[in-house]
Chain A
Amino acid sequence: MKADNVPQDYISTYAENKKAIYATDEEGHYGVVASSGWDVEEEATKQALHELERLADDAYETVLSEEASPLLYHMYAQRMDLQVLAQTTGIFQWRIKRHFKPEIFAKLDDEFLARYSDVLGMSVEELKVLPLRGDDV
């Protein structure tokens, strides 16, 4: 790729930062070019973000209708999945799935809930509730 052809698409995912791309001069010799982004990359990143948002939105509804505990929502809202939540807390996936049940989640004490809230980057109080819509991360 020639330096002149390095995309400068000012993609939103970079939030006005630039990444370093390696590109050549006319003879094929390399230099580093600061790029404001390639829209192909933006599409792929946004696809992943939107999927997590979709999961978080669905979870929000499920929690509202009292079919799941707020843990399900907060997991996706913090861009985690069951595997990451298990790996970061050290709690087995089968146990976490039990904690998605509202009646079981309600019985967990604050000391235990802190194991979740710590890795999710929130207080135990925040973990126990849904944020107001339009309020979230």
Chain B
Amino acid sequence: MSDFKHTHAAHCESGVMSSMLRHHGLNLSEAMVFGLSGAMVFAYLPFIKMGGMPLIAYRMMPKAIIKGLQKNIGIEMVMQTYSKPQEGTKALDALLAEGKIVGAQTSVFWLPYFPDEMRFHFNAHNLIIYAKEDQNYQISDPVFEHPVVSDVKGLEKARFAKGIMAPKGLLYYPSYVPKQVDFETVIPKSIKKTAKMMLKTPVPIVGIKGIRYLAKHIRKLENKDRRYAKLFLGHIVRMQEEIGTGGAGFRYVYASYLDEASALLKNDALFEASKMMTAVGDEWRDFALMIAKAIRSKKSESIDYDALADKLETVAASETEVYQRLLEAF
């Protein structure tokens, strides 16, 4: 509890799990957690709307990282939800009193320490509560540089926010953490799974096909209401950069995973793939920059949707090469 160390991370779920595992004696960086859980993906689901905008995801569904770790490295987690806020607060306090550090799912909108301009209604944010002092919880929110604080009522409201993916006060902590990980086995397995998913999923909305599908829809924005078109483009950038991805829709985090994996397995091909993935991340960032310029354009200026779509097609082609290289890396 008092020996818990906060670490700054790119992403909430991977940041929490990395911190938690480290606290329990298994030292895995955020990048390793992210990579080993097989969480990286691309999906474009135009038929599912959030905030009036289609779902674009650069990672698998919430809890995929926790579940991926359970499956791939054998950690066991206790996951508990509660029907009443007071019940949830009592349970949290009891766990803290036992000296445990506890993961929690919360709404971003209701967390007291969140900057105003970052508050949107998103219910699947993860953080660690590691102590309670008087009426305040000491919180390690991975996306923040330093530990933060919340009063009891504030955290309760965030833990019990309603709506899609309602947290229901979810608390979690490990009941079993292995002393080590068989990297020789799990790293290749996780990499092949991610590569195959991106290359071979036979539906148009996932993986490389999904990126191309999005490019196709960007071309069609020409025929849509301009205000909507600009919001659509801005939305892509938000999903890629705002939600806590470490930059370029998790591609840099994944490149970091490949970098670490290369050293662990003494496999140069993985480092080559890491550098290729870094270059892919840079292309995603260039794409985002193009969008920023486009959404700045005045009413009289036309937006070159084809140029944006062409850029995204280039990204798709470059990503394809990385995954093909990864499948040959072992």
Point out residues on A near B: beta carbons under 8 Å: 1, 6, 12-15, 17-24, 28-30, 32, 34, 38-41, 43-49, 51, 79-81, 83-84, 87-90, 119, 121
- The complex places the Cα of A43 from the Cα of B259 at a distance, in Å, of 31
In the complex, per-residue mask of B85-98: 1 if CB is within 8 Å of any chain A CB, else 0: 00000000000000
Q: Which residues of B contact A12 (CB under 8 A)?
A: 117
Q: Which residues of B contact A89 (CB under 8 A)?
A: 162
A26 to chain B, nearest CB (A): 12
With beta carbons under 8 angstroms apart, the residue of A24, A43, A88, A90 that contacts B278 is A24
Q: Do B115 and A40 touch (CB < 8 A)? A: no
Q: Counting chain B CB atoms within 10 Å of each CB, which of A19, A46, A81, A88 scores highest? A: A19
Q: Do B259 and A17 touch (CB < 8 A)? A: no
Q: Taking the complex as formed, is B323 at the interface, i.e. its CB lies under 8 A from any CB of chain A? A: no
- Which of B54-62, B210-218, B246-254, B313-321 makes up part of the contact surface? B246-254
Sample 8 A-B pairs with CB under 8 A, ordered by A number.
A1-B252, A19-B10, A44-B234, A44-B237, A47-B230, A80-B121, A83-B49, A90-B162
With A14-B115, A44-B242, A87-B163: A29-B259 Cβ-Cβ less than 8 Å? yes
Q: Do B281 and A20 touch (CB < 8 A)? A: no
Q: Taking the complex as formed, is B231 at the interface, i.e. its CB lies under 8 A from any CB of chain A? A: yes
Q: Do B246 and A21 touch (CB < 8 A)? A: yes
Q: Tell me the nearest residue of chain A to B258, going by C-beta.
A: A30
- The complex places the Cα of A119 from the Cα of B244 at a distance, in Å, of 25
With beta carbons under 8 angstroms apart, the residue of A22, A45, A90, A121 that contacts B242 is A45
Q: Do A30 and B256 touch (CB < 8 A)? A: yes
With A17-B144, A28-B275: A79-B121 Cβ-Cβ less than 8 Å? yes
Q: Which residues of B contact A83 (CB under 8 A)?
A: 49-50, 52
What 10 pairs between A and B have smallest CB-CB spacing?
A15-B115, A30-B256, A22-B252, A44-B237, A88-B163, A13-B117, A47-B234, A87-B163, A40-B292, A22-B246
Q: Do B164 and A87 touch (CB < 8 A)? A: yes
B151 to chain A, nearest CB (A): 15
- The complex places the Cα of A22 from the Cα of B271 at a distance, in Å, of 16
- The complex places the Cα of A19 from the Cα of B120 at a distance, in Å, of 17
Q: Do B274 and A28 touch (CB < 8 A)? A: yes
Chain B count of residues within 8 A CB distance of the other chain: 57
With beta carbons under 8 angstroms apart, the residue of A32, A48, A121 that contacts B8 is A32
Q: Do A41 and B241 touch (CB < 8 A)? A: yes
In the complex, per-residue mask of B205-233: 1 if CB is within 8 Å of any chain A CB, else 0: 00000000000000000000000001100
Q: Which residues of B contact A18 (CB under 8 A)?
A: 8, 145
- Which of B73-81, B126-134, B169-177, B282-290 makes up part of the contact surface? B282-290
Q: Which residues of B contact A6 (CB under 8 A)?
A: 247
Q: Do B118 and A45 touch (CB < 8 A)? A: yes
Q: Do A84 and B121 touch (CB < 8 A)? A: yes
Q: Do A15 and B117 touch (CB < 8 A)? A: yes
Q: Which residues of A contact B42 (CB under 8 A)?
A: none
B204 to chain A, nearest CB (A): 25
Q: Taking the complex as formed, is B295 at the interface, i.e. its CB lies under 8 A from any CB of chain A? A: yes
Given A88-B162, A119-B163, 12 more A-B residue pairs with CB atoms under 8 Å apart are A1-B252, A15-B115, A20-B246, A22-B246, A24-B278, A30-B252, A30-B255, A34-B145, A40-B241, A48-B51, A84-B164, A90-B162
Q: Do A13 and B118 touch (CB < 8 A)? A: yes
- The complex places the Cα of A45 from the Cα of B115 at a distance, in Å, of 12
In the complex, per-residue mask of B277-321: 1 if CB is within 8 Å of any chain A CB, else 0: 010011001001101100110000000000000000000000000
Q: Which residues of B contact A32 (CB under 8 A)?
A: 8-10, 30, 246
Q: Do A1 and B247 touch (CB < 8 A)? A: yes
